[in-house]
Amino acid sequence: MKRLLADGRLQEIEFRIRKKSGEIRFALTSSEPIEIGGALCVLSAATDITDRKQAERALVESERRFRLMADSAPVLMWLSGPEKNITDINREWLRFTGRTQQEELGDGWTYNIHPDDKSEF
């Protein structure tokens, strides 16, 4: 309430709600003070974002597991798009090339290609 009164409005504030059942839900709310019949009131709108938060957590966990697998594999792994720009590489790739991730991403991987072979790419 103090923050609402100090700032005049709150926009897209994320918070947790515990239901009577004990279940935790997540909401995104915006609020602003309004006056009704001379009384100061608060107008708020909230959206349940629990499913989105769960999906975000699942994605983070999936990415963590993929990174662990990719960096543990004794093979060179990379991800690239149709433009042949590398978007991700594993630790073994970096160990093999002796270069940093920043040097290899994008089209940096072509540094390792012999000049006579670059016309193939």
d(CA 84, CA 97): 18
- Whether 1 has a pLDDT exceeding 80, the answer reads no
pLDDT confidence of residue 57: 96
CB-based contacts of 43: which residues, under 8 Å, 6+ apart?
A: 31, 32, 33, 34
pLDDT confidence of residue 121: 63
- Whether 116 has a pLDDT exceeding 90, the answer reads no
- Whether 71 has a pLDDT exceeding 90, the answer reads yes
